[in-house]
């Protein structure tokens, strides 16, 4: 699939029905999602693989993985309203994804590839921690994630503790439109990194 087509599909997913600040519902921009998915595709972590999207929100990463040929995609999300949007969007595209309402801490099944845009921990300190714990525990091959650049030291520490190898930490453009009631400006540019960590045998 061409990048422009992938971006178009991802951009067609509706926004969070009622963005909840306490859950840090920050949707991944379609371009950033497409680039992350392309990296996973190039590293052979999608086609024929089992994929887990932690904190799936309205489903952009899970839907993208399914569009690009993942064998089985599971998407876990705490907010049923967000997941309902994801389910409808996936169905409209003719995709099969196991949409699961639940807490990331309750996921136990190992997978090949974990994709995630966890809460950034801006509202609730350390809200990203259970995501990184689960991701590094469950991914057999790699973890692909977004995080605020302020989380670098924490993530590097988790990677070392889990014996994962950091393959990439690159800043990505991330314009965050006004979403929550406490936002004043129309949009802000967030300092976000894309992370790729190898948890597999090549580590």
Instruction: Annotate 106-119 with b (16+ C-beta within 10 A) or e (fewer).
Output: ebeeebbbbbbbbb
Specify the DSSP class assigned to residue 104: G
The neighbouring-strand residues paired with 51 are 73, 113
Which of 46, 60, 73, 159 is close enough to bind ligand SAH by CB under 6 A?
60
Using CB under 6 A as the binding rule, the residues of this chain from 117 to 156 that contact ligand SAH are: 117, 119, 130
- Binding residue for ligand SAH, selected from 26, 34, 89, 135, defined by CB under 6 A: 26
- x/- letters, 65..84, toward ligand SAH (CB under 6 A): -----------xxxx--x--
30, 55, 64, 90: residue in contact with ligand SAH (rule CB under 6 A): 55
Among residues 132, 141, 136, 133, the alpha carbon closest in space to that of 48 is found at 141
C-alpha span between 121 and 152 (Å, rounded): 13
Binding piece for ligand SAH, criterion CB under 6 A, among 3-11, 55-63, 149-157, 170-178: 55-63
Note the maximum CA span of the chain.
47
Kindly state the DSSP code that residue 94 receives in the 8-state scheme. T
Q: Smallest Cα–Cα separation from 117: which of 53, 70, 46?
A: 53
Coil vs helix vs strand at 115: strand
Q: Does 35 bind ligand SAH (CB under 6 A)?
A: no
Contact with ligand SAH (CB under 6 A) among 10, 28, 132, 141: 28
Our finding on whether 196 is near ligand SAH (CB under 6 A) is: no
Q: How many residues bind ligand SAH (CB under 6 A)?
A: 21
Asked if 61 interacts with ligand SAH (CB under 6 A), we say yes
Residues lying near ligand SAH in the complex (CB under 6 A): 23-28, 55-57, 60-61, 76-79, 82, 103-104, 117, 119, 130
């Amino acid at each position: 699939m061409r990048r422009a087509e992938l971006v178009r599909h991802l951009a067609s997913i509706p926004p969070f029905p009622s963005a909840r600040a306490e859950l840090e519902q920050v949707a991944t921009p379609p371009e950033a999602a497409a680039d992350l998915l392309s990296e996973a595709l190039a590293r052979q972590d999608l086609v024929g693989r089992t994929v887990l999207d932690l904190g799936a929100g309205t489903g952009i990463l899970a839907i993208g993985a399914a569009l690009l040929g993942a064998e089985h995609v599971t998407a876990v999300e705490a907010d049923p309203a967000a997941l309902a949007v994801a389910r409808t969007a996936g169905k409209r595209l003719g995709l099969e994804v196991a949409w699961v309402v639940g807490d990331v801490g309750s996921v136990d099944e190992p997978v090949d590839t974990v994709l995630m845009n966890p809460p950034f921990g801006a509202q609730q300190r350390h809200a990203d921690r259970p995501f990184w714990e689960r991701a590094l525990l469950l991914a057999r091959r790699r973890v692909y994630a977004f995080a605020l650049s302020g989380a670098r030291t924490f993530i590097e520490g988790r990677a070392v503790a889990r014996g994962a190898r950091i393959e990439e930490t690159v800043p990505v453009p991330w314009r965050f439109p006004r979403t929550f009631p406490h936002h004043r400006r129309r949009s802000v540019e967030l300092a976000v990194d894309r992370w790729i960590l190898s948890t597999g045998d090549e580590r």
